Structure 1
């Protein structure tokens, strides 16, 4: 891209160009502007490169000297939110009369006027800047254009309006085609979705397995950061060949494609009976699991992907252990203990200490990390097994399926009567909001029910295996679900063998 922006290679200096102009008053110093809305998947700038090549050939025919190249690659000219940096620089340079290096500007070249502008405001700014100097030339696919001619401003605005109308027509056709294909269950992904082969229908086994595990892990409490790290460590890359980032993983997990559904602008695509359309591609998880992962992620911070107000800890029992050391005044320290890295000569990599600060802590209790973790894990697993044996997890049926079906049918019937002229606009729009609110309420309730159901069905009967395969964040959440804390009493000064009796778990009651 560097050679397509700025002064061309081999261009004489500003002083040399001024000398050339003095010797040949007919010489024109022109600038070229190239733009393309979409650079394709290769992102090799071949579109703007072709435009600059064509303009260079035309400049040679006229004997013009190209002194600067402006290039806005992969940028739309019809969208207000898109800022075209080089177009803005072109407008400023035209108004100043010269490029940043000082070369005079006697004209502008573009392969077509719609490369320069597609909105009335851009056309007006460009024309005003262009005409700040007399005698400038402009060349595009229509040949030499006299931008100073009477009525040319109106002619340009008409051209802009026609171009804008054509752009909107294409966008509308594209949206309709996109939605119609989605309703037919066709895959409409521009890039190969993670989990599927290039045909976007057949599963790619390793990726599909990783996505299924990630969805189930997030339902069980894993953070998006942990999933991102796991995928990158496993060597997975995005369809564009990049390492996974937090936001990319989040979008993949929230995409209903994984359960066979399709979404447009945040809404599931539904058929005439108000049921989600099932796509032609192979699903990776069940709809209940997808609803569950969406519900789990909605309860988390939008930026971090972890439960709000919580930190990701390096050690299993940081903040769960509390110091049970008796202080000089006879009170119990009760400070939360933190995980600390061990010295290199020790046989274990971390421990837990009661750190003394200005307001709390005593440095009176230290526990070896690996054996403390193993002991508490064993206690928690035994507790979970006892709970599983005493009561089977059950989720009461939702029981509102018929109500949702009736509400959807009511809306459909109301729309039919309106379309057929049986009711007027006022009646239709007065009765529509309550029905839509009812449908939304029932769908929200259904999503919560499906989330609970999926979480219940995902529970592994082999609790030991299930716990051992969890991420650190998931293990901490499981431990905190059955334990309030673990009180760690000091074993006295000096090195002592690990004594599990000095660890007292405080269990949560069923209530």
Structure 2
């Protein structure tokens, strides 16, 4: 076609959109390419390639636009990936191609590396070879970037203003609430409330995730719950009525947390406690540690007490196994086989062993609870926090006061970070204290009654807090009546 018509222009089209909406159907991209195709037909140009970057920003650092990079490379070589010549570029607007000065300079250099190319956007056909067009383009980029930042700033200010007013700002329906984002969805809210109580009491996020999957709960976006999404739900300050922006609780002029217009599911004290628990388990990240979830209660806690031929005790960790079908009980504990490092001499009926140890542990926990002062004293740094906030506010007031010559920019910005850091440290300490209070209150409940509703992981954690191990002494050969005296608990000292 080019040989038959030397004046034919082979052009490429570039389409981009920053946000493809919730449907993700690329309709915006399709609209752009359709408009460019219609324009090319009017000029008698032939579209030989279409470059597309869907749902990608051109103004944010770190965003890689693959097709834009391919376009730059192809402009430099002069041909499309299939080998068609590139005589021009089309875009619905120049800000689809570039919004940063560096991208504009790279594009212009690649475009003008070959003579005689055409460029078309909403302003018509542009001569990118014209003298001064590089400066004109930079001015346009600067104006576009300024407008983008202005919109981002307005969006942030609007978001924060609504947060300060206590209004719901979530784009999606939060799990636990109805579509109005204010009214509770009872079944989901109760699941969250129970999960928070269980995590504070020792349950793992993995167990909560499995429970929610079995209940067939789905996220607000219609996906099955995963570990991370469950963690995000439980660590969201919205649960107790608070709002967070970038990890910081939104506060009013008196530095008190803003309470939202939506109904809360748990108390602030419970929220501080559950977030502290999750961060503590994940080394501060809330990430799973990869621990094994055991099927049987005393796996690894029971130790083989068989005396070996050399006079030493086996002391190998016993494992839980499924009992034979003809037995009245469903599981048992046994020492590993010799090839696995055990002696294979100790075997214990599972249900009776669990029952005995659980009774011992519950009695120990009840005794400890009765002997300890469960009430955590009031936080003793309230005045220090108030002084730090007052000092920061006074520093800001004096800096804004034109008549106050003592606080110049250098003094202000040198002292402000110190006060901000002090306030942040005190608030973190306050949150830790609130978590301790919530945990102490949780421990005051009826231990025996609460034990029945605990998961295996929660029970194992409680057992390991008071027991170092349980030594299981073999009962001898043959079938004998279960003897609880052959289970020797090894209690932890109070200092451990």
TM-score (ref. length: structure 2): 0.92
Mean Cα deviation higher: 495-504 or 113-122: 495-504
2:484 maps to 500
Picking from 436, 454, 468, the partner of 2:438 is: 454
Q: Distance in 1 between matches of 2:35 and 2:67?
A: 19
Which of 273, 283, 292 in structure 1 is aligned with 2:254? Answer: 273
1:45 Cα deviation from its structure 2 partner:
1.3
Q: Would you say the 8 A contact 1:31–1:70 is kept in 2?
A: yes
Residue 48 of structure 2 aligns to a residue whose secondary structure is strand
Equivalences for 1:8-157 in 2 at 5 Å?
A: 20-157=1-138
1:324 is displaced (CA, Å) by: 0.5
Match status 1:424 vs 2:407: yes
1:404 to 385, 389, 401: 385
Size of the aligned set, in residue pairs, is 492
Unmatched segments (≥5 aa) in structure 2:
none
Structure 2 residue 246 is matched with structure 1 residue 260: no
Distance 2:11 2:284 in 1: 48
Q: Which residue of 2 aligns with 1:12?
A: none
Residue 334 of structure 1 corresponds to 315
- In structure 2, relative to structure 1, the CA distance for the partners of 1:494 and 1:122 (3 Å cut) is farther
Counterpart check, 1:285 vs 2:269: no
The CA RMSD measured in Å over matched residues stands at 2.5
Mapped contact 1:225–1:304 kept (Cα < 8 A): no
Does 1:476 find its partner at 2:460?
A: yes
Cα separation, 1, equivalents of 2:146 and 2:383: 46
Change (3 A) 1:42 1:315: same
| Alpha-carbon distance in 1 for matches of 2:168, 2:457 | 35
Could you give the per-residue CA deviations for residues 264-309 of structure 1, whole angstroms, max 9, x where no partner exists?
Answer: 1221111111111111111111111111112212212269847868
Residue in 2 that maps onto 1:393: 374
Deviations 1:395-441 (A, max 9, x none): 12223323322332232223223322433225545554554444333
1:349/1:44 CA distance change after superposition, 3 Å: farther
Out of 226, 235, 253, the position equivalent to 2:207 is 226
Range with bigger deviation, 81-90 or 346-355? 346-355
Aligned to 2:170: 189
Greater alpha carbon shift after TM alignment, 185-194 vs 421-430:
421-430
Q: State the Cα distance separating 1:246 from its structure 2 match.
A: 1.9
Against the structure 1 CA distance between its residues 486 and 98, is the aligned structure 2 distance closer, same or farther, given a 3 Å change threshold? same
Distance 1:345 1:22, change over 3 A: farther
Asked whether the 8 Å contact 1:223–1:306 carries over to 2, the reply is no
Which piece of structure 1 moves more, 348-357 or 263-272? 348-357
| Residue 384 of structure 1, CA deviation | 2.6
2:161 match: secondary structure: helix
Give the Cα–Cα distance (whole angstroms) in 2 for the partners of residues 495 and 97 of structure 1: 88
Counterpart for residue 428 of structure 2: 444
Shift of 1:256: 1.0
Where in structure 1 are there 5+ consecutive unaligned residues? 1-19
Distance 2:296 2:112 in 1: 68
Deviates further, 142-151 or 113-122:
142-151
The C-alpha deviation readout for 1:127-168, integer Å capped at 9, x for no partner, is 222223222222111111222222222221111111111111
Task: Note the alpha carbon deviations across 1:465-503, whole angstroms, 9 max, x for none.
Answer: 322222222111111112121111122345555433322
Q: Distance in 1 between matches of 2:417 and 2:60?
A: 32
SS in 1 for 2:264: coil
Deviation per CA, 1:331-389: give whole Å up to 9, x if none.
11111223345566766554333225679422222333343323322332233334444
> SS of 1:316's equivalent?
coil
Q: Which has the larger displacement, 281-290 or 352-361?
A: 352-361
